[in-house]
Amino acid sequence: MELAYYSDYAVRLVNTEEPARNKDALTSVETIRELFGPNGQAARRATDADVTRFRSVRGRLRSVFEAADGGDETLAVDLLNSLLLEFPVSPQISGHDFRDEDGKPDWHMHLADHPSNATAGYAAIAAMGLAFHLTSYGVDRLGLCEAAPCRNAYLDTSTNRSRRYCSDRCATRANVAAYRARKRLETERAAETGRSAETAQASTDHTER
């Protein structure tokens, strides 16, 4: 499993909450297990106590994205470093059962964790994955959706660092809202121009009399 894959752990956890909409999907052990994806062994360690712990880690990860989105690189790195220190991992070379044409293992980096609970395991993987993305592509590649009130986290993998929304749906919604705002402004300006013209004409008529 490539290290880049692990960065999505942070995004998935952060996006279980929509603060602006007062929505929180992180309410059960089942939700936590779904976050682990194919990592079934780690997911089986989850208990009811992890719900609260996961929410705490989620808030700290969102703070990393907020700092990055706000342009405070140092704060983003400091916040992420605190997570890395608290939730360490052990990088290992793994081959699993995959083989190439020559029958050799498909060697790749894997993050092995030895946590006391599911939260520690997930936090370690999420923090290391996010750190890998940050150091490889830059702090400005961590963003929060600009389509209010969404504010979901995302990782910008665009070639020109142009991503602003977490999904195509939010991008479309924002573009439609911007278009409607422009049309309203044009209508208001046209109406104001019309009223000004009427006022000017009325003044001219009064003067001629």
Q: What's at 86, amino acid-wise? A: E
Q: How confident is the model at residue 83 (pLDDT cuts 50, 70, 90)?
A: very high
At 142-199, the pLDDT tens digits run 999 999 899 999 999 888 888 999 999 999 987 776 667 677 777 777 767 766 655 6
pLDDT at res. 1: 46
Distance (Å, whole) CA 123 – CA 102:
37
Picking from 180, 182, 146, the residue whose alpha carbon sits closest to that of residue 165 is 146
pLDDT value for 52? 97
Range with the lowest mean pLDDT among 42-56, 68-82, 109-123, 174-188?
A: 174-188
How many angstroms from the chain centroid is the CA of residue 49?
25
CB 100 within 8 A of CB 108: no
* Cα distance between residue 80 and residue 184, in whole Å: 43
Residue 94 or residue 39, greater confidence: 94
Confidence of residue 68 (pLDDT cuts 50, 70, 90): very high
Residue % of the chain over a pLDDT of 70: 81
Residue 129 C-beta-side C-alpha neighbours within 13 Å: 25
Contact 92, 26 (CB under 8 A): no
The pLDDT-based confidence of 203 (bands split at 50, 70, 90) is low
The model's pTM? 0.78
Instruction: Output DSSP code: residue 163.
Output: -
DSSP letter for 105, please: B
Q: Tell me how far apart the alpha carbons of residues 171 and 157 are, in angstroms, rounded to a whole number.
A: 16
| SS3 labels along 41-102 | HHHCCCCCHHHHHHHHHHHHHHHHHHHHHCCCHHHHHHHHHHHHHHCCCEEEEECCCCECCC
